[in-house]
Amino acid sequence: MTNVAVIGSQWGDEGKGKVVDWLSERAHVVVRFQGGHNAGHTLVIDGVTYKLSLLPSGIVRPNKLSIIGNGVVIDPYALLSEIESVSKLGVIVTPENLRIAENAPLILPVHRKVDQMAEAIRGKGKIGTTGRGIGPAYEDKVARRAVRVCDLADPDLLREKIENLLVYNNALLQAAGAPPMNVDEILTPLLEVAPKILSFSTPVWLLLDKLKREGKRILFEGAQGIMLDVDHGTYPYVTSSNTLAGTATIGSGIGMGGIGYVLGITKAYTTRVGSGPFPTELTDAIGAKIGKIGNEFGTVTGRPRRCGWFDAVLVRQAVKICGITGIALTKLDILDGFETIKICVGYKHKGVLYDYLPASMKIQAEVEPIYEEMSGWSESTQGKRSWVDLPAQAIKYIRRIEELIECQVALLSTSPKREDTILVRDPFAD
């Protein structure tokens, strides 16, 4: 039985939510394994838009199990408020359809403060984080200070762990001239929500082992994208987790060999939110046009996304680093009507040609893209549900992308709507 990992192959917002929702019809279980509520995954089903941050995108389908693994940093208040907001749209979340890992670290209010403080200190060099405490929570996890879901069951231990967490974090806040937090400020509201959070808590690794033995199909839903990976992305302008498919094993406890197919979600052009290098960025009218037609505004922060041409060099790098088996190409419809379309096929830097993005942040910021130009298509691809209905020139664009990134299209998405999806090769059947 093939389990599938869905991963963003660019800088996030490639359409992972839409694709996971579509694929989850064929899956029994959907698992988030890294990131937190910095993610914003949009689903459009029967005219209703769902914006999910922490909840796996399978949550909207009845009879599917959603799991939040230990690799996710969980803000308990954000989780509860998301559960409440989806319930208003008719999605009922109970321990029957949502389980969260007992060993997942929590994002606490102090992490949000430290995140915002750190950004203010960075000044012009700021990362442009979502300000939700993601980085500081991961730092505390690695520093072995984190408060974890299981700690919520023991008020004395919880107090001790928060005290310990604050020794470090208050020192940071005070050094920056910000007021420190006191233990009760964090502990009292946390104890109020603890029973609700604990009702979802379970040893996820054990549950996944059982589901695997039962032959259940498991879909792993990545957040962010490969270029935001803390090791392989455009460091330091990255998020604080590994966004690669391999993280699904660490971030859920499924064990090696638990994933058979890696589906890289790939936008037909490129976007990025926040700071950092972006070789194919268009700061001209074309970039603004893509952003407008593509409705490129951050799901989480509402910030306008930076837009640019498709960067085949970056996506090929993602395919190799992440072991992507096939891609889901999304938002092709946004390029409808462009007279010419460019694809980045290499970089130039101080007379040197690169067929990959080097690790140096300075070189990353200075590389110039080498473009290949193609004629666009005037016909609409929006909402097309069959390959034969696509304009020949659009197919040519897809074929050229496949060639350049050394990977084939498994799915094509032609609108935000669930059903506007063309299946080329079934990832679960591969």
- Where helices occur in 88-203 by DSSP H, the ranges are 109-122, 134-142, 155-175, 183-198
Question: Which partner, ligand IMO, ligand GDP, Mg ion, none, binds residue 128 by CB below 5 to 8 Å per kind?
Answer: ligand IMO
Nearer to ligand GDP, 253 or 416 (CB): 416
Per CB under 6 A, 8 contacts ligand IMO: yes
Per CB under 6 A, 56 contacts ligand GDP: no
CA dist., res. 294 & res. 355, Å (int):
28
Tally of CA atoms within 13 A in the half-sphere of 38 that contains its CB: 33
Per CB under 6 A, 127 contacts ligand IMO: yes
For the segment 37-56, give every residue that binds Mg ion (CB under 5 A): 40
Nearer to ligand IMO, 129 or 201 (CB): 129
28 has catalytic annotation: no
Per CB under 6 A, 44 contacts ligand GDP: yes
Question: Which partner, ligand IMO, Mg ion, ligand GDP, none, binds residue 183 by CB below 5 to 8 Å per kind?
Answer: none
What is the DSSP-derived secondary structure letter of residue 38? T
Which amino acid is it at 307? Answer: C
Per CB under 5 A, 15 contacts Mg ion: no
Among 134, 343, 398, 411, which residue sits at the site for ligand IMO (rule: CB under 6 A)?
134
Tokens of 60: 């909207």
Of 32, 33, 38, residue with least CA distance to 12:
38
φ/ψ of residue 32, rounded to 5: -90, 140
Handedness of CA 82, 3, 27, 314 (dihedral sign): positive
For the segment 11-30, give every residue that binds ligand GDP (CB under 6 A): 12-18
Region of residue 424 (left: phi > 0; alpha: psi -120 to 50; beta: else): alpha
215 exposure class (CB count in 10 Å sphere: 0-12, 13-18, 19+): exposed
Q: Site for ligand GDP (CB under 6 A): how many residues?
A: 22
Could you say which of 41, 229, 333, 420 is catalytic?
Answer: 41
Q: Site for ligand IMO (CB under 6 A): how many residues?
A: 24
Among 9, 24, 38, 330, which residue sits at the site for ligand IMO (rule: CB under 6 A)?
38
Per CB under 6 A, 132 contacts ligand IMO: yes
Contact 72, 332 (CB under 8 A): no
209 has catalytic annotation: no
Q: Where are the beta strands (DSSP E) in 190-302?
A: 201-202, 218-221, 261-267, 270-272
In the complex, what is the shortest distance from the CB of residue 300 to Mg ion, in angstroms, rounded to a whole number? 7
In the complex, what is the shortest distance from the CB of residue 205 to ligand IMO, in angstroms, rounded to a whole number? 23
- For 119-137, b where at least 16 C-beta lie within 10 A, e where not — what string? beeeeeeebebbbbbbbbb
Per CB under 6 A, 313 contacts ligand IMO: no
Q: Which residue is nearest to ligand IMO (CB)?
A: 274
Catalytic residue ranges:
13, 41
Interacting residues with ligand IMO (CB under 6 A): 8, 11-13, 38-41, 127-130, 132, 134-135, 223-225, 228, 239-240, 273-274, 299
Residues that bind ligand GDP (CB under 6 A): 8, 12-18, 40-42, 44, 265, 299, 330-331, 333-334, 413-416
Residues near Mg ion, by CB under 5 A: 13, 40, 299
